[in-house]
Amino acid sequence: MKPLSVVILAAGKGTRMKSALPKPLHKIGGQPMLSHVLSAARELNPAQLIVIYGHEGEKLKAAYKNEDDITWVEQKTFLGTGDAMKYAMPAILSDSNVLVLYADTPLIDAKTLQAMLEKVDEKNLCWLTVEADQPFGYGRIIRNDAGNMVAIVEEKDANVEQKAITEVNSGLFAISSHVLAATLPRISDDNQQKEFYLTDVVKLALEDGLSIQTAAGDFTLLRGVNDRVQLSELEAIYQNQQRRKLMLSGVTMIAPETVYIHGEVKLKGQDIVIEPNVTLAGVVSLGNNVHIGFGSYITDAKLCDDVVVHPYSMIESSLLHHNVAIGPYARLRTNSILKANSKVGNFVETKNITLGEGSKANHLTYLGDAEIGVGVNIGAGTITCNYDGANKHKTIIEDDVFIGSNSSLVAPVEVKKGATVGAGSTISSSISEGSLAITRATLRQIQNWKRPAKK
């Protein structure tokens, strides 16, 4: 087998997107379109991965600065897909099979690409075509009487008869580097748009005595994204794919059409329930029997077995161990580590904390920069005062501590093992093991108090 060169066209202006963002960076499922194409390509282990960039290209390159398997080629003129390919030609391995992909066709899959490559050699190239219920805007596939593909005619160049053809060009094809090198320089811009059409490779290859093979793709997956309506249509298809995959792997979704996946869900178990209106973003890992309640938003988190997220909770970059329960209305911010059997209740915000095994913060609390031991009870309205206006400080609460309601813990501060803090206290120095700390003023009562009367 010859080495594989993948070339992704991503230099177009994307005029119809009406956006300052390069089209390949517009997202499907929380990932730029180009990233989806790159993932499919990488599954084939290509010897090279070339991306042709141009319009707002620096922004595009910057988004991929850590992906060093990409060879970037700049298209300096914007004269169409054929022009773009001419810039890539010098970078392409001289004796390879070339797979041409579009950054605006993000739902392509490796299996379809593999099928195309199997039909390519020095005498044959393979074009991916699709049967479209609405062919408007696409290049139409022209076949001769014997049924062989002989040309592609763009919408703007097509006559009435050709416009009626429903087999259209996906844009994707596989070709030998030698055939590409022989045909590219002969593409002309003699057409309605005065552009160099890469699709002209078809008729030029035929002139050279080659045959055009075709592979059939699924139109719903291979629609190009040219405007934001099409972007939303592909998003809907992508979301359905993700939901199906999860449901078929043991996840119950009560209203799947309202669940959004903006990243990668790693299933570490089954019998997971996702209630309506949930969004999972980034990398989210879910264990056995995890239950995610209505309206929750979870990003980059690991939820171990038996975790329950009650409705309307938010979790960001956090770790929830076995049998943790949070919410309703809990907000776990970055680096909240909740150990087994711990609980975080309604209107509790946490950030950068460890909550020990079996510990509870059930109501109306802020816990930030805190290390909380085993079996601790944090009363309603407790606040860790972690920020002095300039720096953050740490609160350490050891095992079996009881913090009474409406207490402020002014960090840096430690409450030692088994200590009790009386309700309504402001704790500004460390509390020793087993003691009771209370800063509440003594209660006074004035008998028969007369309230002021209106004059």
Contacting residues toward ligand UD1, per CB under 6 A = 9-12, 52, 75, 78, 80-81, 83-84, 102-105, 138-139, 152, 154, 168-171, 197-199, 224, 226
Considering beta carbons, is residue 230 or 335 the nearer one to ligand UD1? Answer: 230
**At residue 247, what is the residue type?**
M
Q: Which residues are catalytic?
A: 363
Report whether 404 belongs to an annotated binding site. no
Report whether 154 belongs to an annotated binding site. yes
Among residues 205, 231, 82, 55, the alpha carbon closest in space to that of 154 is found at 82
Report whether 440 belongs to an annotated binding site. yes
Report whether 23 belongs to an annotated binding site. yes
How far apart are the C-alpha atoms of 421 and 439, rounded to whole Å?
9
Report whether 437 belongs to an annotated binding site. no
Provide CB contacts within 8 A for 14, sequence distance 6+.
22, 23, 55, 104, 226
How far apart are the C-alpha atoms of 39 and 6, rounded to whole Å?
12
CB of 34 to ligand UD1, least distance (A): 9
* Assigned token pair, 50: 């070339």
Considering beta carbons, is residue 120 or 172 the nearer one to ligand UD1? Answer: 172
Considering beta carbons, is residue 104 or 275 the nearer one to Mg ion? Answer: 104
Task: Give which of ligand UD1, Mg ion, none residue 275 binds (C-beta under 5 to 8 Å, depending on kind).
Answer: none
Considering beta carbons, is residue 46 or 139 the nearer one to Mg ion? Answer: 139
> CB under 8 Å, gap of 24 or more: what pairs does 211-214 form?
211/123, 211/124, 211/125, 211/148, 212/124, 212/125, 212/126, 212/127, 212/148, 212/149, 212/150, 213/119, 213/120, 213/124, 213/125, 213/126, 213/127, 214/126, 214/127, 214/128, 214/129, 214/141, 214/149
Helix (H) or strand (E) holding 206: helix 201-207
Residue nearest to Mg ion (CB): 224
CB of 222 to ligand UD1, least distance (A): 8
How far apart are the C-alpha atoms of 75 and 177, rounded to whole Å?
19
Task: Give which of Mg ion, ligand UD1, none residue 379 binds (C-beta under 5 to 8 Å, depending on kind).
Answer: none
Among residues 387, 381, 415, 389, the alpha carbon closest in space to that of 401 is found at 415
Task: Give which of Mg ion, ligand UD1, none residue 12 binds (C-beta under 5 to 8 Å, depending on kind).
Answer: ligand UD1
Report whether 351 belongs to an annotated binding site. yes
Rounded to 5°, the CA angle 40-297-276 comes to 90
**Does 137 contact Mg ion by CB under 5 A?**
no
**At residue 93, what is the residue type?**
L
Pick the piece of the chain touching Mg ion (CB under 5 A) from 1-9, 123-131, 205-213, 226-234.
Answer: 226-234
Rounded to 5°, the CA angle 419-420-426 comes to 110
**Does 154 contact Mg ion by CB under 5 A?**
no
Report whether 386 belongs to an annotated binding site. yes
Whether omega before 46 lies within 30 degrees of 0, making that bond cis, reads: no
Task: Give which of ligand UD1, Mg ion, none residue 337 binds (C-beta under 5 to 8 Å, depending on kind).
Answer: none
Provide CB contacts within 8 A for 275, sequence distance 6+.
254, 255, 291, 292, 293, 294, 295, 296, 311
From residue 190 to residue 219, the character string flagging contacts with Mg ion as x (rule: CB under 5 A) and all else as - is: ------------------------------
Task: Give which of ligand UD1, Mg ion, none residue 84 binds (C-beta under 5 to 8 Å, depending on kind).
Answer: ligand UD1
Considering beta carbons, is residue 224 or 282 the nearer one to Mg ion? Answer: 224
Among residues 156, 137, 138, the alpha carbon closest in space to that of 195 is found at 156
Segment 76-115, which members bind Mg ion (CB under 5 A)? 104
Task: Give which of Mg ion, ligand UD1, none residue 152 binds (C-beta under 5 to 8 Å, depending on kind).
Answer: ligand UD1
| Inter-residue contact 103 to 34 (CB < 8 Å) | yes
Considering beta carbons, is residue 162 or 226 the nearer one to Mg ion? Answer: 226
How far apart are the C-alpha atoms of 16 and 11, rounded to whole Å?
14
List the binding residues for UDP-N-acetyl-alpha-D-glucosamine.
Answer: 9-12, 23, 75, 80-81, 139, 154, 169, 226, 333, 351, 366, 377
List the binding residues.
Answer: 9-12, 23, 75, 80-81, 104, 139, 154, 169, 226, 333, 351, 366, 377, 380, 386-387, 405, 423, 440
List the binding residues for acetyl-CoA.
Answer: 380, 386-387, 405, 423, 440
